Amino acid sequence: MSPQLHNTVLISHLFSNTPNDEDNGNLPSSFTEYFRNYKAETKIISEETTRSIELCLKKGDLQRAKSVISDALRVIDNAPINIAVTGESGSGKSSLINALRKVKHSGGSAAEVGVIETTMKIKSYEHPKVKNLILWDLPGIGTPKFQPHNYLEKVEFKKYDFFIIVSSTRFKQHEIDLAKAIRIMKKNYYFVRTKVDSDLQNEEKCHPQNFDRKNTLKQIRNYCLNNFTGSNIGEPEVFLISNYDLSDYDFPVLMDTLIKNLLAEKRHNFLLSMPNITEAAIQKKYNSTKQYIWLNALKDGVFATVPVVGILSDMDIEKLKKRLNFYQDLFGVDDESLTFMAKDAQVPVGQLKKKLKSPYLLEFKKEETLGGLLLKCLEKFASANGGLLATGLYFTKTYYLEFHFLDTVAEDAKVLLREAYSKK
């Protein structure tokens, strides 16, 4: 059987139960079914938007559905995220900002780190890879130029999505009063206690015989919480973190809390900014990106004809190369990230690359073609999403490859994470 005839037969088999383009009766349930798989706090579109898309599909108003999806994607792309980080001198604010931006302290765009007061005025730091995400380093409340009575006015309170209040010892009355004011203004705040790794090390040195890590962390937390007694804001959650080991302590919990409390349309960009500290974090970033691809695919190709497996145009191939590079950069599987990791692990870059699949996705042997890869992706997609295919949800052929690229890059990121842990 010729390759072309084989492709035709296989595609016919994959979509044999697919209704014709006019039979859209099951489409709303398919759309609902897909997005229902994600928890409410991790969806990147609001329930209102989801219902609006469903209603358009139910009515058969495909142009309106496309318009609603386009508007939702535009909002996601342009939604600003402004994060305020404040606290006393030496509390670890700048280190936390660098960690959230995945920037080394020695980098040219890093927030200045020092034992003296380095934040005398408001400074902004853009995320190097996620547009519209800015972290603001605010002077601590009570400093000479930022007194409590006009602090919120001076720092332009309204523009921030939430406040992170940082301390390396205990939270003082000024910071507790700030939290009260933030709550009155109906915005979120989070108390973060930094440098717990140093506290644990000091405690172990002082009491090596009866050192208990779990008990020491409990004491640190209770010490912080005791400061809120009688404060009229209850007992807030305090996140214990180390700016130099984000995968440990409460940092993953802090990230989950921030995601849950953000508006749906702001979650995607925030999730993309998350460092690959755990496999769960990588999976959250993957899920968010997959939702985004799905929405783009629906906008560009829903109800299109079944994609023909064959030669992709130069424009298609160039687009795919850019998308692959984007995902590699996003998940830290790009050449620059691999070079840094190899240097830290003191191994050749080639040794790391051998463990990965994404660097070779667009490299083919003589008998292989990009069309052949597309065919494999269609088979895989049909196997995993047969119900959706059976209801007529077709995409332009490049999207099937894009889903494959995302799957591969995310798995590579997990491989690198496991490799990094094995070196510790």
In the prediction, which pLDDT does 51 show?
86
In the prediction, which pLDDT does 365 show?
63
Q: How far is Cα 111 from Cα 85, in angstroms, rounded to an integer? A: 12
In the prediction, which pLDDT does 26 show?
44
Let me know how long the chain is.
424
Q: Are residues 214 and 106 in the same domain?
A: yes
Q: How far is Cα 96 from Cα 82, in angstroms, rounded to an integer? A: 15
Enumerate the H helices of 275-334 as residue ranges. 279-301, 314-330
In the prediction, which pLDDT does 424 show?
59
Q: How far is Cα 195 from Cα 20, in angstroms, rounded to an integer? A: 61
In the prediction, which pLDDT does 8 show?
41
Residue 67, domain member (yes or no): yes
Q: Are residues 205 and 58 in the same domain?
A: no
Give every strand in the sheet of 81-87, ordered side by side. Answer: 123-126, 133-138, 81-87, 162-167, 188-193, 238-240
What phi and psi, each to the nearest 5 degrees, are found at residue 190? -140, 125
Enumerate the H helices of 60-168 as residue ranges. 62-78, 93-100, 151-154
Q: Are residues 304 and 359 in the same domain?
A: yes
In the prediction, which pLDDT does 107 show?
56
Q: Are residues 210 and 316 in the same domain?
A: no
Residue 132, domain member (yes or no): yes
Residue 269, domain member (yes or no): no
In the prediction, which pLDDT does 32 show?
65
Residue 270, domain member (yes or no): no
Q: Are residues 337 and 402 in the same domain?
A: yes
Q: Are residues 293 and 336 in the same domain?
A: yes
Domain range enclosing 258:
80-262
Q: Are residues 123 and 138 in the same domain?
A: yes
Q: Are residues 286 and 311 in the same domain?
A: yes
* Run means of pLDDT, 10 residues per run, the chain, 424 residues: 44 40 44 74 87 84 88 94 90 89 68 58 90 91 75 87 92 88 90 93 90 92 87 85 90 94 93 91 93 87 54 75 93 91 85 91 69 72 58 67 92 92 68
Residue 268, domain member (yes or no): no
Q: How far is Cα 329 from Cα 337, in angstroms, rounded to an integer? A: 8
Q: Are residues 282 and 386 in the same domain?
A: yes
Q: Are residues 307 and 369 in the same domain?
A: yes
CATH code: domain of residue 204:
3.40.50.300
In the prediction, which pLDDT does 289 show?
94
Domain finish residue from 230, 262, 294 = 262
Domain finish residue from 234, 262, 290 = 262
Residue 351, domain member (yes or no): yes
In the prediction, which pLDDT does 345 show?
78
Residue in 168, 175, 257 with CA at minimum distance from that of residue 220: 168
Residue 271, domain member (yes or no): no
Domain finish residue from 237, 262, 287 = 262
Report pTM. 0.83
Count of domains for the chain: 2
Q: Is 309 exposed, middle or buried (0-12, 13-18, 19+ CB in 10 A)?
A: buried
Q: Are residues 206 and 355 in the same domain?
A: no
Residue 153, domain member (yes or no): yes
Q: How far is Cα 221 from Cα 8, in angstroms, rounded to an integer? A: 64
Q: Are residues 48 and 157 in the same domain?
A: no
